[in-house]
């Protein structure tokens, strides 16, 4: 990653942007001074983005369990009886 990309990241991240503005440095000087910290934050954010969770549902009608890793996490239709299933937990994939 080059400094231009780091500058863009700092400008678009609320926390880093506030840190930069509080330092009263130019964006170039801030990135040069805090390069290691910015890279560490980027590594942490990339690792966190890879963690996926799956929502599990339970049917109150026929006791079928079902997992869902789709965008909708509020409800799921039971594949056995068509009843609306209630969410009951999360599991890391």
Q: What is the pTM of this model?
A: 0.54
Question: Do residues 11 and 43 share a domain?
Answer: yes
The interaxial angle of helices 3-12 and 14-23, nearest 10 deg, is 100
Cβ(80)–Cβ(59) below 8 Å: yes
Residues 40 and 71 in one domain: no
Residue 10 and residue 41 in one domain: yes
Backbone angles phi, psi at 78, to 5 degrees: -65, 130
Number of domains within the chain: 2
Residues 17 and 40 in one domain: yes
Q: Based on the domain organization, do 11 and 44 belong to the same domain? A: yes
Strands 84-92 and 76-77: antiparallel
Question: Domain range holding 45?
Answer: 3-50
Mean pLDDT, consecutive 10-residue stretches, the chain (93 aa), reads: 92 90 95 94 77 62 55 56 64 54
Virtual torsion, Cα 33, 36, 41, 47, nearest 10 deg? 160
């Amino acid at each position: 990653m080059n400094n231009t990309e780091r500058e863009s990241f700092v400008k678009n991240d609320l926390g880093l942007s506030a840190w930069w503005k509080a330092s009263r440095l130019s964006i170039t000087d801030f990135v040069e001074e805090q390069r290691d910290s910015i890279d560490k934050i980027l590594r942490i954010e990339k690792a966190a983005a890879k963690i996926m969770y799956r929502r599990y549902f339970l049917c109150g009608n026929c006791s079928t369990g079902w997992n869902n890793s789709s965008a909708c996490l509020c409800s799921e239709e039971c594949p056995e009886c068509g009843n609306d299933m209630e969410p009951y937990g999360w599991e890391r994939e």
